[in-house]
Structure 1
């Protein structure tokens, strides 16, 4: 299989995928012959909608030479299916051939089909097949009206463009400058470089100042932490208020005092009795004799309920 045949078959597969049932292979050996049915509006195969929306239809027939598309273009013909006269066929054929020439050297059938369909869309009117003088005059009148409407639309567009305000023109100029960009010259580059270096120096100065502030703050935090640690260490060796009152730190032991009183009452052996000397008493608490005068150590006091600590 030559390269031309392979390329032609690939184009046929692409056309079939695009136009579906509207595309058909009339002759499947070289020279290939392909046919494509074309209408202004694609209705997806719905015949009733097609008759309603499409007043004209043609069939494009392309004969593919063996060396197409590299060395020559396709041989084209047009068959009228609905709503057109012979003069329209010649006009459509001219459009198709012009498009094929514009795509010389490359696959052109799809582009030709689109050009023909564009012509059909512009002329999708009822009664074009009527070639009588009256019908031709009516069509000519419609063509003139259509041409006049296009000219008026073009004039309105030009008038609107001329009436643009200065702000709109400036906005257009700004958008154009953004799209084009700023050309780089030695002068504007040096100006940019100077501004860039200045910004970098300011950024470096800010970073140095920030580091200095962070360093001073860390020193203050370190000194405060050291003082707190020293105070915590000093507090660790001190007894709590409860320990001082309950005798756990050696100041007074009420339980031991009660035990001594009970042993004295029961007359226990001197060896087993708890004596004052056995008590763990802080004598410094009793240096003030005036406070001892108010104490009454009668036996009845020992029977009283121990105060809650």
Structure 2
């Protein structure tokens, strides 16, 4: 007849020698209940414990363990997501089914430690990939700012048509402006450009000279003026 209690006690003593700081015995009667702290073994965990992934697994050994499955619960964890904890629990239950009939706590703890390390590495890779993706998108967006529009036959023809139309309109406006400016001549310019105006002015003076008449009666009484007195007075 199997002495389950003795077999469980021997397993716990072995676990205490393997995990002297990680294991904590909570109860012995009526059944053994204990916890083991598990830490991932990734490189970052070795350098900085505050950044490592950790969990505390509680084991409750039933009366007929290891022929019956222990009750397992993850009571505490850090730097792990809820979905990762759920994955670890599913993995633990699979390992329990595979190891029924054998003492299995060490096997379970080792399996969780390995699986947790993989989860941490996958999480780090996802974070790194996301960071690289954002940086790549930012670089591509910055590059596009300097590349401009790619030249094709279609957009070049469209640009050339628009450019020619703008130049033709500019030429028309310039010609119109020059024409308007030429129509606004100064008096001097008009005089220099039209010789008939010069001749008309001379003819006007000539006509006025020919028609001047002098009224001689205005000078008949000039003999009565005392011009000598004025000259002597002067």
- Calculate the TM-score normalised by the size of structure 2: 0.48
Larger RCO, structure (CA 8 Å, separation 6 or more): 2
